[in-house]
Chains A and B, each alone.
Chain A
């Protein structure tokens, strides 16, 4: 898998994405279509807003009692014969997975979709250790063949057109040149993946929900690839973040209703597979990862980002994401939720992401667990500035601005100067170094400000 681009910031990567305007239009429309499907599905449920509220409550309750629920889950899972591992960091997580694979002397595994393994860069790690990873989710397989990270947490290859997938499959799966029929390509992928399913001793899956009450976990897919992988393999490794816990099985009645509707507008995913105990002769492992989650749990401002159920609705609605593409976020989880998760992992590398938003607030409104995403974006901005991850140029201009804006006399004068400059020296401002002017005209400065009009006409 190629390295994520961490050298360039969101603005400049998004600028590249915008060089092909037609493609941006297509990307925007594709995702907006999914947002509209989500709206239709939500409107089918008159109590939709209560359902969101309820889900949010359950998640808040879990976060407030996470320690106890995790222990309960571990106890139940162990009783079911599952082997539990705890990992504090992605490195530990990857090492645990590797040690299991070593025991079985495998050099290939199948993996269904798991954003957590993306977070840990597990594929790259295993490949460096001589183990081939075959992603079995169709979208994931496509980006994997293209040597790219996913651009969306639910729709990993949403930035690929079907014709391009045809070319990619022609190269890797030897499908006939020029065939871009989705049904045909899906069938080809199925044949190709079946081969891997049948020959893989170990399957890795993600976890959507882990039920403390029973020790079982639920994996939601549309392709059934998690089931096929796990049922055919001798060893099933499930990787999850510690926040995936829900208290009781009945809580699934809330979350399963919300998840697929929010994600794609489907009433439910085709498969909601429950895994509780290994079948006879099989080994089942669960790796629970912290990676900064317990630290975030202590933060009043940022805790509730842990409620996320990774539905991707905030991506589809985000007007910035739709027009900048997932890769411009240079992090495993893109979009609005990625922009509030990533700074906690590495504030320096990701200090641009909370600024990749207009704070329009649409994300918070679609979020099925009511995370106040746009408020957290605002708070991360303050955090980033407080920690000094901001350019000196910006700092100087902000100090200058505060000096003027907190001082009525200076404000009056500087406004006057600003308008004079615009009137008399348009070439200073109206050039391509001014990002406003590049594609927009400047406002025409009026003869006088309101303030001075008011003083002349209204003040008695």
Chain B
């Protein structure tokens, strides 16, 4: 089984430790993982700003980088959702479809494809989970609070296997953090207010860490925590699952 590791552009540049943790986690599970060097970005920043028309270069590059793999795995719900919803290139329809079917967000890959039962990780801290909207409502990594439907959470399922980790309950389980791509600068005031409220929900429940499946949301929350000079840190779930 050959796995192509897809690392979102901003993770590559700003959070290499998240990419390294993802790679090590998959390698620890004895998987054959490659990082195709020609990859850049899924095109989401442009598409969500209304410039989907400009993403064909990114799309072609994505197809070329990942078509040869059995699975494509990425530590980002948001980027995976974008590929699933929007990857297309004229003349390469079949390859696009194939990739859409074989791309997985990391936790979804661990629970649905690998069906992991044991993790030898330990992280003895109080952790709050910020489930990003795209992972949750887009990829259905966990049940959405709006629906009258049985609850589940692939992310929590994994976190509960981590030794010593205490998952804190939040008042608003799945409220958006306000990152939203270019929204975070175009609608600065609302974005920051949403982020502050999201952070506050974790703080009143005495979380020591905020984790999640998307580093973009966490980067936004980290920016707010640091401005508040808080000791609470953000940590990507891949880093927790490899910890200890």
Query: Which residues 401-441 of A have a CB within 8 angstroms of B?
Result: 401-402, 404-408, 411, 415, 418-419, 434-436, 438-441
How many angstroms from the CA of A253 to the CA of B177 in the assembled complex?
37
Nearest CB of chain A from residue B147's CB, rounded to whole Å: 6
| B20 with A450: CB separation less than 8 A | yes
Query: Which residues 174-199 of B have a CB within 8 angstroms of A?
Result: 174-176, 178-195, 197
Partner of A458, one of B12, B35, B172: B35
CB-CB nearest in chain B for A401: B46
How many chain A residues sit at the interface, stated as a range, is: 35 or more
Asked if A144 CB lies within 8 Å of chain B CBs, one says no
Nearest CB of chain B from residue A292's CB, rounded to whole Å: 21
Query: Which residues 385-406 of A have a CB within 8 angstroms of B?
Result: 385-386, 390, 394, 398-399, 401-402, 404-406
Asked if A4 CB lies within 8 Å of chain B CBs, one says no
| B148 with A453: CB separation less than 8 A | no
CB-CB nearest in chain B for A381: B50
Stretch at the interface among B96-104, B120-128, B154-162, B220-228: B220-228
CB within 8 Å for A365 and B16 given contacts A359-B180, A406-B57:
no
| B185 with A439: CB separation less than 8 A | no
Asked if A366 CB lies within 8 Å of chain B CBs, one says yes
How many angstroms from the CA of A440 to the CA of B230 in the assembled complex?
12
Q: Which residues of A contact B174 (CB under 8 A)?
A: 362
| A450 with B11: CB separation less than 8 A | yes
| B190 with A441: CB separation less than 8 A | no
Q: Which residues of A contact B45 (CB under 8 A)?
A: 401, 405
Q: Which residues of B contact A390 (CB under 8 A)?
A: 50
How many angstroms from the CA of A413 to the CA of B13 in the assembled complex?
11
Asked if A45 CB lies within 8 Å of chain B CBs, one says yes
CB-CB nearest in chain B for A404: B40
How many angstroms from the CA of A189 to the CA of B68 in the assembled complex?
71
| A362 with B187: CB separation less than 8 A | no
How many angstroms from the CA of A451 to the CA of B34 in the assembled complex?
12
CB-CB nearest in chain A for B51: A398
Q: Which residues of B contact A415 (CB under 8 A)?
A: 9, 12-13
Nearest CB of chain A from residue B64's CB, rounded to whole Å: 10
Asked if A14 CB lies within 8 Å of chain B CBs, one says yes
| Interface residues in chain A, defined as those with a beta carbon under 8 Å from any beta carbon in chain B | 10-11, 14-15, 17-18, 21, 24, 28, 32, 39, 42-43, 45-46, 48-49, 317, 319-320, 323-324, 354-362, 364-366, 378, 381-386, 390, 394, 398-399, 401-402, 404-408, 411, 415, 418-419, 434-436, 438-443, 445-446, 448-451, 453-455, 458
| Interface residues in chain B, defined as those with a beta carbon under 8 Å from any beta carbon in chain A | 7, 9, 11-17, 19-20, 23, 35, 37-41, 43, 45-58, 60-61, 133-134, 137-138, 144-149, 172, 174-176, 178-195, 197, 219-220, 222-224, 226-227
